[in-house]
Amino acid sequence: MQSPFNLNRQNQNTESKIVVALERISEAFRVLLWNESKENALSPIQTQILIFLLFHSEEKCKVSYLAHEFNMTKATISDSVRILIKKELVQKLDNPVDTRSYIIGLTTSGKTTAEKAASFAGAFEKPLNALTEEQKEAMLSGLLRLIHDLNKAGIITIQRMCFTCRFYDKNNGQHYCKLLQTKLTNTDLRIDCPEHELKARNRH
Ligand code: SF4
């Protein structure tokens, strides 16, 4: 059987081992996020929303954007936002460009909770710091390509990475940002860039 979880195949196939390794990593994220959420009496998605609001600009802090970001329905995100409002962690703010929708903003106590929760993946730092620069560069390049391909296949939705940005250019293997007007090394490539603007052919 072709499954990467079939040990006979997996033990003879590098790609299968990577798939299984990524599954383990994703499980670790799930557990760490769950533990952090439990401490704050929140659900994992409520914690993710707080962290997202902490680090992203207002135009992205809307129910519809969050629904795309987390691959959930608007109804599910609205439910989470309602609970966060009840807990006085977020508030509805007027949207100056569209009166039919609102912006979700952190309250002071929401900001404190989000700042603490944002360290939920801290356990990854030490082992990653122990890698050589070459290992980190190879890992980042591989992951960026994988995310880009999964995005093109419609499996990962919203991306704010260089490869899907209208300012990204590549000449003779050299990455370049036309907005920052600078060459980008493999490790300069961004995975979540505040200046990202979607390339026309990536728009759905
Ligand atoms: S604007 Fe940001 S995402 Fe776009 S190419 Fe430049 S660095 Fe990359």
Phi, psi of 180, rounded to the nearest 5 degrees: -80, -10
**pLDDT, tens digit, 9 for 90 and up, residues 32-44:** 999 999 999 999 9
pTM of the full structure: 0.91
Ligand 1, residues 196, 198, 199, 202: which to mutate, most atoms within 8 A of Cβ?
196
**Residue 116, pLDDT score:** 97
Per-residue pLDDT band for 204 (boundaries 50, 70, 90) equals very low
The runs of H, that is alpha helices, within 4-156 are: 7-10, 14-39, 44-55, 63-69, 74-86, 108-117, 125-129, 133-152
Q: Which atom of ligand 1 is nearest to the CA of 184?
A: 7
pLDDT at 134 over 80: yes
Q: Are 105 and 114 in contact (CB under 8 A)?
A: no
CATH 1.10.10.10 domain locations along the chain: 31-117
Q: What is the pLDDT of residues 159-191, one digit of tens each?
A: 899 999 999 999 999 999 999 999 999 999 999
**Check whether domain 31-117 has CATH 1.10.10.10, yes or no:** yes
CB of 179 closer than 6 angstroms to any ligand 1 atom: yes
And the tokens for 167?
């300012």
Tokens of 143: 């992951």
Two tokens at 133? 């620069």
Residue 203 has pLDDT above 70, yes or no: no
Query: Does the pLDDT of residue 8 top 90, yes or no?
Result: no
The rounded distance, in Å, linking the Cα atoms of 87 and 83 is 6
Cα(5) to ligand 1 centroid in Å equals: 36
Q: Which amino acid is at 22?
A: L
For 146-155, write each residue's pLDDT tens digit: 999 999 998 8
> 190, 162 in Cβ contact below 8 A?
yes
- 190 ligand 1 Cβ < 6 A: yes
Q: Separation of 158 CA from ligand 1 center, angstroms?
A: 15
pLDDT at 158 over 80: no
Residue 121's alpha-carbon distances to 89, 94, 103, 112, 116, in angstroms, are: 21, 32, 27, 17, 11
Distance 177 CA to ligand 1 centre (A): 6
Residue pair 121/32 in contact (Cβ under 8 Å)? The answer is yes
